[in-house]
Amino acid sequence: MSVFSLFGKKRLKEEYVAKVFVSTINGLAMESFPILKDYLNDVPELKCSPEIEDNQLEWFLYIVFSANLYHLKDHFDTDQHNRMRILVIDEFIESLEDQSHDKVLSHINLYEDYVAGLDRSQSDDLGRIMALAIFQKYGLNKCQDDHFQNINQPNPTIIKAISEITDSFIWNWDDLLGNFKLVA
């Protein structure tokens, strides 16, 4: 039996967790975008390249961040969810030094609504939701073969491959909350 189990879970400040959360999500998204971009530009199931460029990182960053922000509701009661949401959004806005607070907040709200809409209409699998958002945001439908273009649905092979990538962008709240108690 560990000492922590005698006295309960070790405590972490919500503010600290928000900083680590945003830093980790941003770092992972920025490091991984070139790999995802190269993969999407060369997907063999597409009839042409979507020609995603390095300057389109921001879309990806907002998709990953907003999906994880949306996912907070599944792990916290209302009061703590509201506090964590504010802390995480403030930290994210601060991390994007060269953009205005209002512009970033507007983008967050738009992307989170977009993710919520995909959740209601498609799946409750966050990795798949991010994959669908990436598919739509980067215009991959226009590069699909005629069959999938005509039915306006992503090729399941492509979505599965993107989902396998995006699964690694989901913050593991279960693990963190299983080992630590977050305090204000």
Cα angle value 93/94/99 (rounded, 5°): 65
pLDDT at 120: 67
E strand map for the chain: 10-13, 180-183
Q: Give the predicted TM-score (pTM) of the model.
A: 0.88
Structure confidence by residue, pLDDT tens digits, 99-135: 899 999 999 999 999 988 886 666 668 899 999 999 9
Rounded CA-CA distance 93/4 in Å is: 35
Structure confidence by residue, pLDDT tens digits, 26-46: 999 999 999 999 999 999 999
pLDDT at 4: 46
Q: In terms of DSSP H, where are the helices of 51-167?
A: 57-71, 78-95, 101-121, 126-137, 146-151, 156-166
Using DSSP, state whether 154 is helix, strand or coil. Answer: coil
pLDDT at 121: 63
Cα angle value 64/65/68 (rounded, 5°): 85
pLDDT at 106: 94
Structure confidence by residue, pLDDT tens digits, 43-94: 999 999 999 999 999 999 999 999 999 999 999 999 999 999 999 999 999 9
- Provide the residue range defining the domain that includes 179: 3-183
Least-confidence region, from 12-21, 49-58, 119-128, 168-177:
119-128
pLDDT at 9: 77
Distances (CA, A) of 12 to 19, 69, 125: 12, 19, 28
The secondary structure element, H or E, covering residue 18 is helix 14-41
Rounded CA-CA distance 108/67 in Å is: 10
Cα angle value 128/134/135 (rounded, 5°): 85
Rounded CA-CA distance 161/40 in Å is: 10
Alpha-carbon Rg for the chain in angstroms: 18
Please give the structure tokens belonging to residue 1.
């039996």
Rounded CA-CA distance 180/4 in Å is: 10
Rounded CA-CA distance 79/24 in Å is: 24
Q: Over range 146-162, report the average pLDDT.
A: 92
Q: Could you give the angle at which helices 57-71 and 14-41 cross, rounded to 10 degrees?
A: 130
Number of structural domains found in the chain: 1
Rounded CA-CA distance 34/32 in Å is: 6
pLDDT at 122: 62
